[in-house]
Amino acid sequence: MPLKISRILHAGYVFECEGTAIAFDPIVENPFSRNCHAFPSVRFDLDAVRRLRWDAVFISHFHDDHCSLDSLDVLDRATPIYLYCVFDELFVMLRALGFTTVERLHVDVPVRVGAIEVIPRRALDDDVDSLFQVRAAGLNVLNVVDSWIGPETLAQLAAFAPWDMVLWPFQTMRELAVIAPSLAARGPVELPDDWVPQLRALAPRYLVPSSCQFVQEDWSWYNHAMFPITYRQFAQEIGAALPEAHIFRLDPSTSVLLDAQGLAPAAPLAWVIPVGPQDVDFDYRPDAPPPATADIARRFAPLSVADAALVRDFCQEGLLERYRDMELPEDSYFQSPRLWRLALYGHDGAVTVLHYRTHGDLIDLVPDTGEAPSWTTEVPLVKCHAALVLGESLTSMYMRINDGPFDAATRAELEEADIVDDPLIRCLFNDAIGAYQAAQLKRLLARPEGNGATR
């Protein structure tokens, strides 16, 4: 009997074999993770999703584009959830949402669900994520999810070559380039050097470019600056290096039947509904100039007076407390005395500018004396609020770091600094494990009874 593989969205898949159905990283929202918009676009029949009875859900890691409580909320609470995560907080949240079976995944420890066996494999950053080996109907499928593969894991996986199918994360995403565009290198982007040798070692019969099926808002500059690899480039370059592999796109709702003889189309997922053209590709424009933060801020609805005051109070008091409580790395740019300028842009383009004097773990709010800053941060006011209250992640905040102007000596020093040393980044995101899911859970549990999925 063949193995049916269906794409939900992004890293979300459904695997079905001999009456067993399991899902990986299911996302049934558009947009998801606050401002990730399905690409190609889809919508979901949530009533139909609520009627599904998957035998299990496997989640590769806790990032909000893979583990979303809003998506999991529409599932039957008897659905077993298997999560790879080193942090206990996420398991507590899933149980608080009402799931009765929530299990921790362990590297190399198989989980058998009916006719399907899932084996988590070690990712290069095994404190964060995992990849999945899936065995069913005599087939071996590797779901790499978002992972980078280290040498030991590659040797382990190469022993199973040739793989029947590999779901490969084909988009690299230039997060630092959009956060600090004035310091970023421009020009064409090549595929990572290790992709071809790793894929040759895996020798897949079928290869699916996976795990990046989203863009930002229609107007967003990020759509031309963050996503450098196109489906076309991936197919051409990997196809030339692996001529025996069949490379094909598996867009949302699309399903295939895989067996030892080959691949055949199958009935699509009826509850994932394509919207508009599906044969779309990323549009990377390395020389596109970034818009001013003031112009970006105008794209968002204004904050209420109370919410704006919450952000300003945080920047004037709470930020100082958080900064002083954190231990600064010994090699941090901020171990030396610095003047940091933070600019918060409102919906009307007006800006609130704050200056801070830092030295190691010390920080103080200081008046503007006209002194040139040695570090600058800009952010829309509404996005700072979203990070504080909603757990929004860094890559969707439209934060702009070190846009200058700086003299040549300062710029040369900044090019050697670590962007995540930024004081606002550290104060918003340092140790903020599961902040997005915690905000989701708070909202979901505050609903009137009867609005949730089957309990």
The reply to whether 184 and 58 lie within a common domain is yes
CA 41 to chain CA centroid, nearest Å: 17
Q: Please give the residue that has the higher pLDDT: either 395 or 276.
A: 276
pLDDT over 70 percentage in the chain: 98
- The pLDDT of residue 77 is 98
**What gap in Å lies between CA 202 and CA 49, rounded to an integer?**
34
In a domain, 148, yes or no: yes
Q: Which strand (E) or helix (H) includes residue 88?
A: helix 88-96
Distance in angstroms (rounded) separating the CA atoms of residues 209 and 144: 10
Q: Is residue 73 part of a domain?
A: yes
Residues 317 and 435 in one domain: yes
| Pairing of the two strands 165-169 and 206-210 | parallel
Query: Using one digit for the tens of pLDDT, what is the confidence trace for 386-416?
Result: 999 999 988 889 999 998 778 888 888 888 8
Average pLDDT value for the chain: 94
Mean pLDDT of 10-36: 96
Whole-prediction pTM value? 0.95
Region 51-79 average pLDDT: 97
Mean pLDDT confidence for 197-226? 96
Rounded to whole angstroms, the Cα distance separating 71 from 29 reads 6
Question: In 10 A of CB 335, how many CB atoms?
Answer: 15
Tokens representing 204 are 């897949």
Tokens of 430: 């340092």
What is the model's pLDDT at position 453? 56
149 alpha-carbon distance from chain centroid: 17
Joined tokens for residue 443: 């909202």
How far, in Å, are 231, 335, 394, 423 from residue 210 at the CA level?
A: 10, 41, 22, 34
The pLDDT of 298-310, averaged and rounded, is 96
> Region 165-182: what's the mean pLDDT?
92
5, pLDDT greater than 70: yes
| Domain-terminating residue out of 240, 274, 308 | 274
- Rounded to whole angstroms, the Cα distance separating 392 from 306 reads 19
Give me the pLDDT at residue 291, please: 95
For the cut 70, the answer to whether the pLDDT of residue 450 exceeds it is no
| CA proximity to 233, closest of 225, 223, 241 | 241
Query: Do 345 and 246 lie in a common domain?
Result: no
For residue 438, give the nearest of 388, 363, 373, 371 by alpha carbon.
388
Region 225-236: what's the mean pLDDT? Answer: 95
Q: Is residue 259 part of a domain?
A: yes
222 pLDDT tier (thresholds 50, 70, 90): very high
Same-domain check for residues 250 and 364: no
Q: Are residues 199 and 327 in the same domain?
A: no
Q: Is 262 left (phi over 0), alpha (psi -120 to 50) or beta?
A: left
Residues 212, 120 share a domain: yes
Across 172-195, average pLDDT: 87
- Kindly state whether residues 270 and 304 are assigned to the same domain: no
Residue 450 lies in a domain: no
Token code pair at residue 308 = 């704006």
Q: Are 59 and 67 in contact (CB under 8 A)?
A: yes
If you search the block for the tokens 């071809």, which residue do you land on?
Answer: 196
Structure tokens that stand for 387 in this block? 């990070």
Q: Are 177 and 184 in contact (CB under 8 A)?
A: yes
Instruction: Give residue 404's pLDDT.
Output: 75
Residue 288 lies in a domain: no
Smallest CA-to-CA distance from 77 within 59, 53, 61 is with 53
CA distances from 256 to 40, 206, 388 (A): 18, 11, 42
**Long-range pairs for 335-340: beta carbons < 8 A, 24 or more residues apart:** 335/359, 335/360, 338/374, 338/375, 339/366, 339/371, 339/372, 339/373, 339/374, 339/375, 340/373, 340/374, 340/375, 340/376, 340/377, 340/423
Predicted pLDDT of residue 452? 55
Tell me: do 254 and 352 sit in the same domain: no
CATH number at residue 298: 3.30.1050
- Which residues pair with residue 103 across a beta bridge? 82
Residue 21: inside a domain, yes or no?
yes
The per-residue pLDDT for range 28-47, each reduced to its tens digit, is 999 999 889 999 999 999 99
Distance CA 81, CA 414 (A): 44
Residue 454 lies in a domain: no
Band of the pLDDT at 449, cuts 50, 70, 90? low
How much is the average pLDDT of 213-242?
96
Which of 207, 241, 274 is the endpoint of a domain?
Answer: 274
More confident residue, 419 or 81: 81
Instruction: Provide the 3-class DSSP secondary structure of residue 30.
Output: coil
Report CA torsion sign: 299, 305, 306, 312: positive
- CA 403 vs CA 153, 289, 373: distances in Å: 40, 12, 11
CATH number at residue 253: 3.60.15.10
Q: Is the peptide bond before 31 cis (omega within 30 degrees of 0)?
A: yes
- Tell me, what's the pLDDT at 455? 52
The CA angle 195-7-387, to the nearest 5 degrees, is 80
108 and 173 housed in the same domain: yes
The total of structural domains in the chain comes to 2
Task: Determine the residue type at 399.
Answer: M
Given this model, what pLDDT does residue 425 score? 95
For residue 438, is it within any domain?
yes
Residue pair 254/13 in contact (Cβ under 8 Å)? The answer is no
Domain range enclosing 65: 3-274
Residue 49 CA, distance from chain mean position:
23
Tell me the two tokens of residue 174: 């230039």
User: Per-residue pLDDT tens for 102-143?
Assistant: 999 999 999 999 999 999 999 999 999 999 999 999 999 999
Confidence at residue 203, expressed as pLDDT on a 0 to 100 scale: 98
Does one domain contain both 51 and 133?
A: yes
pLDDT at 157: 98
Query: 166 with 147: CB under 8 angstroms?
Result: no
The pLDDT of residue 233 is above 60:
yes
Torsion of CA 148, 150, 152, 154, to 10 degrees: 50
